[in-house]
Amino acid sequence: MTFYKLGDDIADTCAPDVPIEQRWDKRRFDAKLVNPANRRRHSVIIVGTGLAGGAAGATLAEQGYNVIQFCYQDSPRRAHSIAAQGGINAAKNYRNDGDSVYRLFYDTVKGGDFRARESNVYRLAQTSTQIIDQCVAQGVPFAREYSGLLDTRSFGGVQVARTFYARGQTGQQLLIGAYQALSRQIDAGNVEMHERTEMLDLIVVDGRARGIVARDLVTGQISTYLADAVVLATGGYGNVFYLSTNAKNSNTSAIWRAHRRGAYFGNPCYTQIHPTCIPRSGDYQSKLTLMSESLRNDGRIWVPKNAGDTRSPDQIPEAERDYYLERIYPGFGNLVPRDIASRAAKNQCDLGRGVGPGGLGVFLDFADAIRRLGEDKVREKYGNLFEMYDRITGEDPYKVPMRIYPAVHYTMGGLWVDYDLQSTIPGCFVVGEANFSDHGANRLGASALMQGLADGYFVLPPMLGNYIASNKFDKVTEAHPDVVETVNEATGRLTKLLSVNGERTADSFHRELGEIMWDECGMARSEDGLRKALGRLPELREEFWRSVKVPGNGNQVNQSLERANRVSDFLELGELMCVDALHREESCGGHFRVESQTPDGEARRDDDRFAYAAAWEFNGTGEQPTLHRENLTFDYVHLAQRNYA
């Protein structure tokens, strides 16, 4: 039984056909400009205030556009970009260690396992250096050396030190920089900021995105906001797994509703499982916490050689430990890319060598680093992470090795966009983690912050200007039938959620969905498992609408209603992810199909059949989606099996 229909191929038509180094310059030169005096006549809606949204809002407002911006949190400073720990990549080559724009481009295409679009990745690498300049000028306090110059460190999958950082809180510092730039524009009256307001649907009029329907989470008021273009900067959908390192309220609703309105969804099955997270401790667990990849610079990962060894780690002599990453991948050691490190941890646990409750953990040991550098130096580098670990587990990582296990962390998939970051709905742009654009099948560490800020500060603004300059915008009012219909649908959905009054909470459905997704569409995926999931998920969705219980009403703060609404979208997304994972009969990056592996258990791509990005078209709830393939060409980084040994 197939689960999808095959449609026409799709292609990016916006990247100019010139050598890759010149593409972005050429595109910007070809782009139409909006006269500065005319910009104030145009309004742009931005949903989300993370790195991509915050940067975009500040920049577009500085340029003179009227920006109307939204976040569901009580302040734009709380977006989940804030939790990124390790750092941000940039091809500054301050270390003189052989880095360059081309090497960052190469590493990112290879790290993404040859499933990203070369044009976009090259532009990302080009833009990276400007991001560091911008952030330093904003007062972002990056780590510095005693010379007063910026310090850098290494991250997984690369052999140069190009990662700029601010202790273990780089995301926080970059986000505060963007938030402050946005705050300045709010104060200047250039951004109309709506906090505690959540997008319910996208308004499409005459085939173009012209606004959103949103709910004030305090009063329950549902309103329409109209503009000339809509930018979605709403982050990833890792919470489809219920347990992930995402913030509790991170959700897919904005991009899923846009998908339902016609935006194709790119590579939904590409999810990143981060190797170093704190293992779960019980059924009440509400989320998982990441321990930064930067720890792998100094920490050594190991398991006992003998399966079922329950001795405490200090009782296990060196000869009976297996530093398996160093053994299998001597070239990169503990710093192999995330997908490889995660799978290796799972393999060790499957062999019965896992540690901690349920055998679902491996050790990340700092004893050598503490001997080599001294405890003070280790504290200076990783102090806040060690403290966080101690708070959560009650164990002191200066004395006993950390226990870590992989957890869902990031989604490379997202709405399909062209080189201009425009979705298949004209006027609907998608930036940051919400789009699918730059990381292929696996994202390298410290590249999410780079992409979010590149999109928001430097890529979106000229392309949005081009869209506005190239189109005429007839006035749309709230009385337009398409607007009225969208509002009615959004309102009707909430009314329905409130009226079911069944016997299960939204969270209990979410947990069950998460278990199915983790078991069948997590670190290892098989045809049997995915077919099983695709049998169960539609039933679960129907059960949800039959028996969910949402207390209270819609005219006040109602966090249960917010959650139920988000879960209803996750249920639909989960199905699409499984369809995508089932159709892609190869392993690549974070997508590991057990049927497609090398004799020693590494991922085996099938470039003849699958060197394309999958863009899915929505055909109705429970209907088979249509697959449109964007064929990927690799003119610069030649297709090769990844080798980190």
Q: Is 141 in the site for another protein (CB under 8 A)?
A: yes
Please tell me what DSSP assigns to residue 323.
-
Q: Is 92 in the site for another protein (CB under 8 A)?
A: yes
List the one residue out of 425, 365, 431 whose CA is nearest residue 399: 365
Q: Is 133 in the site for another protein (CB under 8 A)?
A: yes
Q: Is 307 in the site for another protein (CB under 8 A)?
A: no
Q: Element (H or E) spanning 319, and its range?
A: none
Residue 132: CB minimum distance to another protein, A:
5
Q: Is 189 in the site for another protein (CB under 8 A)?
A: no
Choose, by CB under 8 A, the member of 20, 150, 161, 469 that binds another protein.
150
Q: Is 287 in the site for another protein (CB under 8 A)?
A: yes
Choose, by CB under 8 A, the member of 308, 394, 481, 599 that binds another protein.
394
What are 213's strand-pairing partners?
Answer: 201, 224
Look up 493 and say whether it is catalytic. Answer: no
Residue 607: CB minimum distance to another protein, A:
39
**Backbone torsions φ then ψ of 564, nearest 5 degrees:** -60, -40
Residue 78: CB minimum distance to another protein, A:
4
| C-alpha distances out from residue 195 to 69, 81, 432, Å | 8, 17, 20
Query: Is beta strand 163-164 parallel, antiparallel or unpaired with respect to 88-89?
Result: antiparallel
Segment near another protein (CB under 8 A); pick from 126-134, 203-211, 265-273, 408-416 = 126-134
Q: Is 176 in the site for another protein (CB under 8 A)?
A: yes
Choose, by CB under 8 A, the member of 127, 152, 172, 234 that binds another protein.
172
Q: Is 374 in the site for another protein (CB under 8 A)?
A: no
Instruction: Give the SS3 label for residue 290.
Output: strand
Q: In terms of CB distance, is 278 or 325 closer to another protein?
A: 278
Segment near another protein (CB under 8 A); pick from 116-124, 370-378, 505-513, 597-605 = 505-513
Q: What residues numbered 599-628 form the site for another protein, per CB under 8 A?
A: none
Q: Is 252 in the site for another protein (CB under 8 A)?
A: no
Q: Is 457 in the site for another protein (CB under 8 A)?
A: yes
List the one residue out of 146, 148, 141, 147 whose CA is nearest residue 169: 141
Residue 323: CB minimum distance to another protein, A:
28
Choose, by CB under 8 A, the member of 41, 64, 195, 634 that binds another protein.
195
Q: Is 100 in the site for another protein (CB under 8 A)?
A: no
Q: Is 186 in the site for another protein (CB under 8 A)?
A: yes
As given in the structure block, the two tokens for residue 491 are 């309102």
Please tell me what DSSP assigns to residue 454.
I
Q: Is 190 in the site for another protein (CB under 8 A)?
A: no
Choose, by CB under 8 A, the member of 2, 37, 96, 148 that binds another protein.
148
Choose, by CB under 8 A, the member of 284, 317, 319, 635 that binds another protein.
284
Segment near another protein (CB under 8 A); pick from 11-19, 35-43, 233-241, 554-562 = 554-562
Choose, by CB under 8 A, the member of 371, 391, 472, 638 that binds another protein.
391
Choose, by CB under 8 A, the member of 392, 484, 594, 640 that binds another protein.
392
Segment near another protein (CB under 8 A); pick from 206-214, 285-293, 322-330, 601-609 = 285-293
Q: Calculate helix-pair angle for 170-187, 51-63, nearest 10 degrees.
A: 30
Catalytic residue among 117, 338, 541, 566: 338
Q: In terms of CB distance, is 125 or 476 closer to another protein?
A: 125
Residue 214: CB minimum distance to another protein, A:
18
Q: Is 559 in the site for another protein (CB under 8 A)?
A: yes
Rg (CA), the chain: 24
Q: In terms of CB distance, is 242 or 416 closer to another protein?
A: 242
How many whole angstroms separate alpha carbon 297 and alpha carbon 277? 16
How many whole angstroms separate alpha carbon 123 and alpha carbon 103? 13
Question: How many Cβ atoms are within 10 Å of 224's Cβ, its own excluded?
Answer: 21
Q: In terms of CB distance, is 59 or 437 closer to another protein?
A: 59
Q: What is the DSSP string of 201-262?
A: EEEEETTEEEEEEEEETTT--EEEEE-SEEEE-----GGGGSSSSS-TT--SHHHHHHHHTT
Choose, by CB under 8 A, the member of 28, 31, 94, 538 that binds another protein.
94
Residue 604: CB minimum distance to another protein, A:
36
Choose, by CB under 8 A, the member of 39, 110, 167, 403 that binds another protein.
167
Q: Is 253 in the site for another protein (CB under 8 A)?
A: no
How many whole angstroms separate alpha carbon 90 and alpha carbon 219? 43
Q: In terms of CB distance, is 563 or 605 closer to another protein?
A: 563
Question: How many Cβ atoms are within 10 Å of 7's Cβ, its own excluded?
Answer: 16
493-497's contacts with Cβ under 8 Å and 24+ in sequence apart are 493/200, 493/565, 493/568, 494/200, 494/215, 494/222, 494/554, 494/561, 494/565, 495/554, 496/545, 497/548, 497/550, 497/561, 497/564, 497/565, 497/568
Instruction: Give the SS3 label for residue 636.
Output: coil
List the one residue out of 560, 573, 574, 572 whose CA is nearest residue 508: 560
Q: Which residues are catalytic?
A: 338
